[in-house]
Structure 1
Amino acid sequence: MEYRLLGGSGFKVPAFSMGTGTWGGVGEFFKAWGDTDASGARRIVDICLDAGVCLFDSSSRYSNGMAEEILGHATKGRRDKVIISTKSTFRSGPGENDIGSSRHHIIREVEGSLKRLQTDFIDIFQLHAFDALTPIEEALGVLDDLVKAGKIRYIGASNFSGWHLMKSLAVSEKYGLARHVCHQAYYSLLTREYEWELMPLALDQKIGTIVWSPLGWGRLTGRIRRGQPLPKDSRLNSSVVVDGGPPLEDEYVYKVVDALDAVSKETGKTVPQIALNWLLQRPTVSSVIIGARNEQQLKDNLGAMGWNLDPAHVKQLDEASAIPLTYPYWHQRSQFSDRNPPPV
């Protein structure tokens, strides 16, 4: 397993990490993603550790905390062998203060996560979304306190816009507070908007990107084809899952899948392996979160490591997945490209 530095920190993480969004299956949304129980999760942890995948990503939101609880049981007795990442910001209860990045909510969420995970500290804690109602100084101040208390080792953000992340970094620098070292972002061959602003920012500010949903919300699993019905067990059969994800035109998805199929025939690799390998070669990517409902899916995803797509195949995939730029990015690229080159 390849290990990469997490942003500008001295902390190394595996190029692949294991997501726990498919663990627990509580509620319609997460049930559609998967319902791995404690025994299944322990087997997945075994396979991951054997392959060098020691980073496990969770959230207090996943199955209402059940995913964290299962992760705690699955890693019990081997905490020294794993890196645990979790997140919070989303609603955790019915109260007015059971949401967001306030001091009140973050402390309660971290304490709850520590209990569910059966650990004394969290290696990487990320704000799951930007809270525009809580001052950034307050959110970063409590995270800094938790770092100093030894309950968190590193902090990060997730699903921030460019200005959200840049302002947070500026506040950290101004007041000498703990700094985000990573940004967990939605990025795949089907969703390349990350490259427009967040990637250049990550390069400039040394932010490590942890990629979530690298197979395009389940569309790049190799089981979706033009003119064929969705597999019966596809999460895309759930309207809750589809409505909660990015809107994508079917023809665009099929165009990218066609290109993946062509590369697959030439390389002998599976469609998800190619999609994952493409991500591993992108700038700023520290780790790609893979998920699996079963051992076979996990082992197939792990097959994306140990080789690289050649430049011709990368170009073929880039061209098939290219999307029109919105303002101001189209203007920067078309009118001033010599001073605003795309990240490489």
Structure 2
Amino acid sequence: MMEYSYLGRTGLKVSKICLGTMNFGSYTSEEDAFAIMDRALEAGINFFDTANVYGGKGQRGQTEEIIGRWFAQGGGRREKVVLATKVYGGMENEADGPNQGSGLSAYKIRRHLEESLKRLQTDHVELYQMHHIERHAPWEEIWGVFESIVNQGKAYYIGSSNFAGYHLALAQAAAEKRQFLGLVSEQHKYNLLCRLPELEVLPAAGDLGIGIIPWSPLEGGMLSGKMLDPEPGSRSESRAAKLTDHERSQLEDYAKLCEELGESEPNVALAWLLANPAVTAPIIGPRTMEQLEQALRAVEINLSEDTMKELDRIFPGPGGRAPEAYAW
């Protein structure tokens, strides 16, 4: 049975698994995407994540369009979904000019939100996320446009993605000056093989009431259970060929542990994330219905203290939060 948690410090409840849609259109057909989204709702997943740039090379925006056509079928689909999309990257249909490409100017945010809403066939998104940090526009500009969007009801909450810990602190300090809620979530790369966020991002987010939404929870397939014996011709095969001796040893130990637990390797990786109170919901990106069905088991897995210690041994983290991880 699906479980739910609050999105950061807000009163909004989201499923503890977030449905990522990046594969829709590029690797998953529209028909299969529709079936996956219907099954996700049936299983209690109410949190869907996308981005304006998803859809594949030459097809940016295609994923939002697929979701929009799924919503258009009715049946309460839109009303049941907490929808998140993102802004930052350049879109292929933009006219050439100095203001095209990546960024978070007020000019860009307003235009791209309107385009996303058209593709998604909705008048609002619950969570509008900055896909990357903006290194030029001041927070006065950024928060000014996001405040306006929230006041207009076109977005209910604002989130970030790929922010460093100090970016979160700066953003929230600027928001507080305006008496604005600011960030409620940070979508960040975090998994058993990528634990650097434990130094600063997770502690900062926890102190600021920002929920962590981990992306790439399986490290691009490394923790999928397919790396040690990949299928010929699969995407895993080329990556498996590049494994170092250390990585292979880690994955062998991990496979043995998961076998002893009687759980799949991807589900143990998800359960490890869910055991962290800083985590709101890891993003799964199923290409097939089978992958979605398998991931649903993760919320039911409770890892023992001994298992967590063994995972720390196999995949050691940075040693805790900064600065104690590297200084007295």
- Using structure 1 for the length normalisation, give the TM-score: 0.86
Q: 1:174 aligns with which of 149, 172, 177?
A: 177
Cα distance in 2, alignment partners of residues 217 and 308 from structure 1: 24
How do residues 43-62 of structure 1 correspond to structure 2 at under 5 angstroms? Answer: 43-62=35-54
Query: More deviation in 59-68 or 72-81?
Result: 72-81
Asked whether the equivalents of residues 183 and 210 of structure 1 are also in contact (C-alpha less than 8 Å), the reply is: yes
User: What is the rounded CA distance, in whole Å, between the counterparts of 2:17 and 2:217 in structure 1?
Assistant: 11
Q: CA-to-partner distance for each residue in 1:190-227, whole Å, 9 max, x for gaps?
A: 100111101111111111011111001121111001xx
How many residues align? The count is 314
Instruction: Output the amino acid matched with 1:322.
Output: P
**For 1:79 and 1:67, how far apart are their aligned partners in 2?**
16
Q: Residues 306 and 325 from structure 1, CA distance in 2 versus in 1: closer, same or farther, beyond 3 angstroms?
A: closer
Structure 2 regions of 5+ residues with no counterpart?
Answer: none
Unaligned runs of 5+ in 1: 26-34, 239-247, 337-344
Task: Confirm or deny that 1:122 pairs with 2:125.
Answer: yes
State the partner residue of 1:82. 81
Q: By how many angstroms is 1:229 displaced? A: 5.8
CA distance in 2, matches of 1:236, 1:289: 23
CA deviation profile, 1:262-281 (whole Å, cap 9, x unmatched): 22221211110111111110
Between the aligned partners of 2:182 and 2:216, the Cα distance in structure 1 is 25
- The 5 Å alignment of 1:66-215 reads 66-76=62-72, 77=74, 78-92=77-91, 93=94, 94-98=96-100, 99-215=102-218
TM-score norm. by structure 2 comes to 0.90
| Deviation (angstroms), 1:299 | 0.7
SS at match of 1:147: helix
Q: Which residue of 1 aligns with 2:308?
A: 314
Answer yes or no: is 1:250 the counterpart of 2:244. Answer: yes
In structure 2, relative to structure 1, the CA distance for the partners of 1:236 and 1:115 (3 Å cut) is farther
1:267 matches 2:261 = yes
8 A contact 1:124–1:152 mirrored in 2 = yes
How many angstroms does 1:155 deviate by? 0.4
Amino acid at match of 1:313: T
Instruction: For residue 307 of structure 1, report the CA deviation from its aligned partner.
Output: 2.3
What is the Cα deviation at residue 236 of structure 1? 7.0
In structure 2, distance between residues paired with 1:290 and 1:332: 32
Q: Distance in 1 between matches of 2:250 and 2:140?
A: 42
Partner in structure 1 of residue 11 of structure 2: 10
CA distance in 2, matches of 1:294, 1:103: 37
| Distance in structure 1 (CA, Å) of the matches to 2:317 and 2:280 | 24
**d(CA) in 2 for partners of 1:62, 1:237:** 23
Q: 1:194 & 1:231 partners in 2: Cα distance?
A: 34
- Structure 1 pair 230–146 and aligned structure 2 pair: CA distance change class (3 A): same
Q: Which residue of structure 2 lines up, in the alignment, with residue 19 of structure 1? A: 20
Where 2:325 maps in the other structure, the secondary structure is helix
Q: Distance in 2 between matches of 1:308 and 1:255?
A: 25
**Partners of 1:229 and 1:17 in 2: CA distance:** 26
Tell me how far apart the structure 1 counterparts of residues 247 and 140 of structure 2 sit (CA, whole Å). Answer: 41
- Deviation, 1:334, is 5.3
- Give percent identity, aligned residues only: 37
After TM superposition, the structure 1 stretch with the greater mean CA deviation from structure 2, 145-154 or 160-169, is: 160-169
Q: CA RMSD in A?
A: 2.0
Secondary structure of the residue aligned to 1:285 is coil
Whether contact under 8 Å (1:230, 1:237) holds in the other structure is: no
- Which residue is equivalent to 1:281? 275
- The letter of the residue matching 2:279 is V
Post-superposition Cα deviations, 1:45-84, rounded to whole Å, max 9, x if no partner, equal: 1110111011110001112011111111123312111111
Letter matched to residue 66 of structure 1: Q
Using the alignment, how far apart are the partners of 2:80 and 2:327 within structure 1?
51
